[in-house]
Structure 1
Amino acid sequence: MQHYRAYFLDQDGHISNAVDMECTDDEQAKECAKKFVSDRNAELWQEDRLIAIYAAGKGPFPPPGDQQF
């Protein structure tokens, strides 16, 4: 199992809340995150790796390029 975190973003793009998840891989993490982010903007991360971006009611979208922060 790997640790993932979904960050929920407010209207200004600031983090308003987060949910920790333990998943087997990126695909399972994306599916788990969908349950939490259906009506909010969010980002799914595994440590310093951006996995997906969620727009309210849409997504997941892949991150632009292969970014690591």
Structure 2
Amino acid sequence: MPDYRAYIVGTDGHFKSSEAIIADDDEKAVKIAQKLVDGHDVEVWQLDRKITVLPHKE
């Protein structure tokens, strides 16, 4: 099973925290990470490969 992480991005553009994501593929990892978008952007990574950036809605 691929190892994913969701990084919470602060208003200064730096990572504030991260969450491990257990998912079978990129699509499932992104769906899980979308639940973490709450007033801040979230970047989804698999090891050193950036999957996507999920922007917050103002």
1-structure distance, mates of 2:4, 2:41: 17
Following superposition, the deviation at residue 32 of structure 1 comes to: 0.5
Structure 1 residue runs without a partner (length 5+): 58-69
Q: Partner of 1:16: helix, strand, or coil?
A: strand
Alignment deviations for residues 19-66 of structure 1 (CA, whole Å, 9 cap, x no partner):
001100000001000111243211100000000001112xxxxxxxxx
Q: Which has the higher strand share?
A: 2
Following superposition, the deviation at residue 4 of structure 1 comes to: 0.3
Structure 2 residue runs without a partner (length 5+): none
What residue is the counterpart of 1:8 in the other structure? 8
TM-score, length-scaled by structure 1: 0.76
Greater RCO between the two (CA within 8 Å, min separation 6)?
2
* Percent identity for Structure 1 against Structure 2: 37
Over aligned residue pairs, what C-alpha RMSD do you find? Answer: 1.5
What residue is the counterpart of 2:23 in the other structure? 23
TM-score, length-scaled by structure 2: 0.89
